[in-house]
Structure 1
Amino acid sequence: MASYHTRSFSFPSNSHPVADHLNDQLCRLRSSQGASSSSMTNKLTGLKDLYKCVDEFLQLPQSQSQKGVDEVLDGFLRLIDICATSLDVLVQSKERLLDIQSVLQRRYNGGLNFTNEFSEYIKTRKIVKKVVKKCLKDIQEVAKINEANATESKLKDVQLVTVDALKSLLSYIGGSQKSNWSFSKLVHANKAQKETKSISAFDAIDSTVELSQLIKLESEIQVIEQDLEWLFRHLVKTRATLLNVVSN
């Protein structure tokens, strides 16, 4: 990664109303992310509110010099890459699910064979799980770097909260890493699997395929995809703004 040690920055601490607002948003997000009842869409919506505060925070005048700008900039760059990959695997999964949904709708009317579509879905899910596993390892590195650095920074706190949300998202998309697929299992899953409350929506589809589940999951993915696109754009914007602050 590039180094920016020749330039440094600092922003007002808790003495400014904007910083206070950012603190409140960080506390609210930490609380909601720790709650098992918080949905994936709620967590991503919380990030929207957080990054709106970050926009205001970056407009504050700089004060005395502060080290660690390179870690902050590199952290945002890693998050941008991970967010882009998350969006990519989400879209891949959605496309395969739409294929299956289309075939199921036609099958109910005409008895079509849909083995090929399920084979493609299984292939895609295996690829997605491998990518997700790597992303989870990469995102943990962002957390370790921020936690290991002693420099206090609101922006590092923002990154850590973003890391937690993206980890939850990747786990949601990847589902169980121990899935053992077969065509018959997908079509004829046992009742106990259907009634398991703790599994994710993707795990439910990986276990058994029902049209109603597919329609529900497609709706969830649509909202998450829009939120992820927003987050990606704002991560890019935040890093660009920060680079501009450092350069001036």
Structure 2
Amino acid sequence: MWKLRRSIISGIVTLAYAMPVPLIRFLRKGYRQLRPLADYGIAGIGLLITLPVSIVIGMVIKITSSGPVFYTQIRVGKNGRLFHIIKFRTMCVDAESQTGPVWTKNNDSRITVVGRFLRKTHLDELPQLINVLKGDMSIIGPRPERPYFVDKFKDKIYGYTSRMSVKPGITGLAQCYYKYDETLYDVRRKLRYDILYIRKMCWMLDMKIIWRTVNVSLLGGRVR
């Protein structure tokens, strides 16, 4: 059994034990029904608020490197459904033309100078708000992976496909505490947090994840 981040879930577990079962069921039902509306609302407002920042990012990308502003890639969503994820381009054009699909590593030479900043602050993820409005993604959930890696992981990691029982998210419990995957051990470790989130999904946990995301992305909080 892995160590749980008690700062994230201890209050939720305590509250759950204190509430009557009918109330818990009522809150869970309300959460499932209202969660999509919350996603659409946050994504729509988020796009409007971040539009000036997105315009500046797009201009800087065009000025500092050749190629398009946006980058699309096929990812695996809920129940194995494929969709095109949208991000600000942070790598050189055709970065995997010679290597095929590979993990992004620290100090990856394929990442542009501007791309390093965007990845560090997670500003490259802003266009994914469009994916949320399209219904491909949620604000919070497991990160969507590429088909190549899904096929690889589901044969080597027991229960890997269980993370696809919900919509993938722009941020999530696993992303709050761990950086990009570099080994199968990293994938297994993140999977534990993805499954934990799926089992404990609620408004309180979502708010804590959003706060943690802001802390890590904009306030310089640390991840492993």
- Give the TM-score normalised by the residue count of structure 2: 0.25
Larger fraction in strand: 2
Which structure ranks higher in relative contact order (CA pairs < 8 Å, sequence separation ≥ 6)? 1
Larger fraction in helix: 1
- Name which one, 1 or 2, has greater alpha-carbon Rg: 1
